[in-house]
Amino acid sequence: PIPLLIDTDPGVDDALAILMALNSPLHRVTGLCIAAGNVGLAHTTRNALKLLEVAGVRQVPVYAGCDRPLLHPALDAAFVHGHDGFGDIGYADPAGRAEPLHAALAILEQSHRHAGELLLVTLGPLTNLALALRLDPSLPQRVARLVVMGGAVTGRGNITPSAEFNIAFDPEAAHVVFEAWPRFDLVDWEATLAHPFAFEDATRWMRDGGELGAFYEAISRTSRAFTAARSEHWHSADGLAMAVALAPDALLEWADRRIEVELQGPLYRGATRVDWAQHGERAANARIVQRFDPQRYLGMLSAALRR
Ligand code: BDR
Ligand code: CA
């Protein structure tokens, strides 16, 4: 199986993505690297440990990483995911503990251990990965593939009018990664909105999913209500990113373009700018996802919740 390392800030949609990864027969999840993002690091780490426990997974190490953005403080997304990031259901403490190694160092360590094979998927702010790149700029040479959830490639933000949450939380980190990584796959907020699924379908999958389905139903209640107040459909940014990571053959349409991060300015800080018309001299760094096979996506989502 392909070794898969996930950097994440769980987070309700992160949890779904992690379940999809754990479910893949072609992949072996080799670790969860945790950052602050949706909520603070203590919560995101605890959520990761709890999710693994409920899923009955013992061998996956959890590495806590950065507890804040590289430079500037940022607002979290507790208003979507709940104050604890998992819908404030008051779950009992998980038995497991995080490893002593910092997540940035775990990324480097795994890149050596699985050199040339590692699939790296980021579902949160890019703080840990940026730090790893500063420690060792040769990192991309050892990673077979990087898939990033982040950005609003046509300017339709979700945390500000122009910026998507993962990039806006730590724009400097995203800048470091986008400048240093020669080629990565990008699942942005517009792609997320273009791949919706029905609340009713998800409710059925969760009902068929036993203890795990019931847990996901509970932790997602707050964020589902948030989405239902704004949209007819549900969607999962991190779930779609994971689907693209797990099944590249089901990616039907993409655009190879240069993407950069805006660091300045009150209106555009954290926005992503894509050179759509290919005016610039700089080579494309991103394969921007446009269309993923909807049937394959639904299949992966439902299988993960029924696991
Ligand atoms: C991203 O922001 C977070 O709230 C989600 O977990 C996802 O990674 C979507 O903009
Ligand atoms: Ca996330």
ipTM: 0.99
Q: What is the longest distance spanned by two Cα atoms in the chain?
A: 54
Each residue's pLDDT tens digit, 13-43: 999 999 999 999 999 999 999 999 999 999 9
Known catalytic membership, residue 195? no
pLDDT of 229? 95
Give nearest CA residue, ligand 1 atom 4.
38
Which amino acid is present at 85?
G
- pTM of the entire predicted model: 0.98
User: Ligand 2 centroid to 39 CA: how many Å?
Assistant: 10
Q: Which two tokens stand for residue 18?
A: 């992690």
The preferred substitution site among 166, 167, 219, 226 for testing ligand 1, maximizing ligand atoms within 8 Å of CB, is 166
Instruction: Calculate the CA 105 to chain-centre distance.
Output: 19
What percentage of the chain has pLDDT greater than the value 70? 100
- Confidence band for 307, pLDDT divided at 50, 70 and 90: confident
Ligand 2 centre and the CA of 174: distance in Å?
14
Mean pLDDT, the chain, rounded, equals 97
Ligand nearest to the CA of 237: 1
The whole-number average pLDDT for the span 253-258 is 98
In the reported structure, the alpha carbon of residue 186 is separated from the centroid of ligand 2 by a whole-number distance in angstroms of 14
pLDDT score at 290 = 98
pLDDT of residue 240: 98
pLDDT of 130 higher than 90: yes
Please tell me the predicted confidence (pLDDT) of residue 228. Answer: 95
Where b means 16+ CB within 10 Å and e means fewer, 214-239 reads: ebbbbbbebbbebbeeeeeebbbbbb
Tens digit of each residue's pLDDT (9 = 90 or more) over 170-217? 999 999 999 999 999 999 999 999 999 999 999 999 999 999 999 999
Shortest CA distance to 98 belongs to which of 159, 38, 41? 41
* Whether 263 contacts 38, CB under 8 Å: no
Q: Is 174 helix (H, G, I), strand (E, B) or coil?
A: helix
Q: Within its chain, how far is the Cα of 307 from the centroid?
A: 20
Does residue 264 carry a pLDDT above 90?
yes
Dihedral pair phi/psi, residue 76, rounded to 5°:
-90, -170
Residues with CB under 6 A from ligand 1: 11, 13-14, 38, 77, 80, 123-124, 149, 158, 164-166, 189, 237-238
Write down the pLDDT at residue 48.
98
- Percent of the chain predicted with pLDDT > 90: 98
Catalytic entry in 83, 175, 233, 235: 235
